[in-house]
Amino acid sequence: MAYHEAKERLRGSIAPVVTPFDEEGNVDFAALAALIDWHIESGTHGISVTGTSGEPSSLTLEERKQVMETAKKAVAGRVPFVPGTGSTNHAETIELTKFAQEIGADAAMVIVPYYNRPSQQALYKHFKAVAEAVDIPIIVYNIPGRTAVNLEVKTLARLAEDCPNIIGVKESNKDFEHVNRVLWHCGRDFLLFSGIELLCYPMLAIGGAGSISATANVVPHKVAELHDAWFEGDIKRAQDLHFELMELNDVLFIETNPGPVKAALGMMGKITPKLRLPLDLPSEEHQQQIRRTLVKYGLLAEETQDEEMQKAT
């Protein structure tokens, strides 16, 4: 995909799909393909895998490639495909990003390396080397709450200036001043995606391209509809959906993502609710809160008090 074409197509709700596991903890590739079909049928505008919601640090390098390849085949060109290829390891990041290009991904999402806490100059050198290793578009993924380092706007602007295939950023950054300055310094045509659920609508208002939101795993139709309403000029509907989704957003982050999301999808019958340690499902108390919220949103049938007590025992 040419860079200018990517900037036109990579918009709206790009769902960061979870990686389903079976009861034994193996990747459930059939469930992954089924999730992707459901997303596209629900109106999702793009598919991403092996981002934060996909538990990439719990997968082997080969598993990450298998998940990417399975997802690419399931998408089958119906919407853009943007796998996460970043890692704490520089060489592994390049290998995965090259693999994304080989299988025909439309772009790659590359996270700021976690745990290492690199300097801004080191981050510049890392992303520049990754960008120069491939021809596909790159979306940088800035999530300081997970990586312990913030990719500063000036560093991102240098990368956007020096690397023509770095076309956007996913900002999981609660600093709204920061994300405003991204578009100011990188250009208004730079793709800005929200990774913070409560900022998905506000980022659209300043010229954002869309969101890569964990909540889309549970209500892909609603998150897609919010973006459709905005792009169609129905501002009131987009605002209404923003506030309608707030309670669900909150409960899906009641513990570390993707634990609550996987619990919710398990309750909805979409996947086996399984994570790999060191991650785990939320506490039973939190799972009951998730269940009540899903019922409230019409995603689960309301249970009797006896059924709820039986599940709790």
Q: Where are the beta strands (DSSP E) in the chain?
A: 12-16, 46-48, 108-111, 138-142, 166-171, 191-194, 210-211
In this structure, the number of other CB atoms found within 10 A of the CB of residue 196 comes to: 22
DSSP 208: -
Annotation says 170 is catalytic: yes
Q: Do residues 267 and 300 touch, judged by C-beta distance below 8 A? A: yes
Cβ atoms of 177 and 201 closer than 8 Å:
no
Give the residue carrying structure tokens 């249970």.
Answer: 303
**CA dihedral of 200, 204, 210, 215, whole degrees rounded to 10:** 20
Please provide residue 297's backbone torsions phi and psi, each rounded to the nearest 5 degrees: -85, 5
Binding-site residue set for pyruvate = 53, 212
DSSP string, 54-85: G-GGGS-HHHHHHHHHHHHHHHTTSS-B--B-
311 is catalytic: no
- By CB atoms closer than 10 A (0-12, 13-18, 19+), residue 256 is middle
- Displacement of CA 16 from its chain's centroid (Å): 3
Token digits of residue 175: 């600093």
Phi, psi at 90, each rounded to 5°: -65, -50
Residue 89 near residue 179 (C-beta atoms within 8 A): no
Contact between 93 and 114 under an 8 Å Cβ cutoff? The reply is no
Active-site residue, selected from the candidate residues 65, 72, 124, 170: 170
The residue annotated as part of the active site, out of 141, 222, 262, 274, is 141
**Annotated binding site, which residues?**
53, 212
Joined together, the tokens standing for residue 313 give 């025992």
Active site residues per annotation: 141, 170
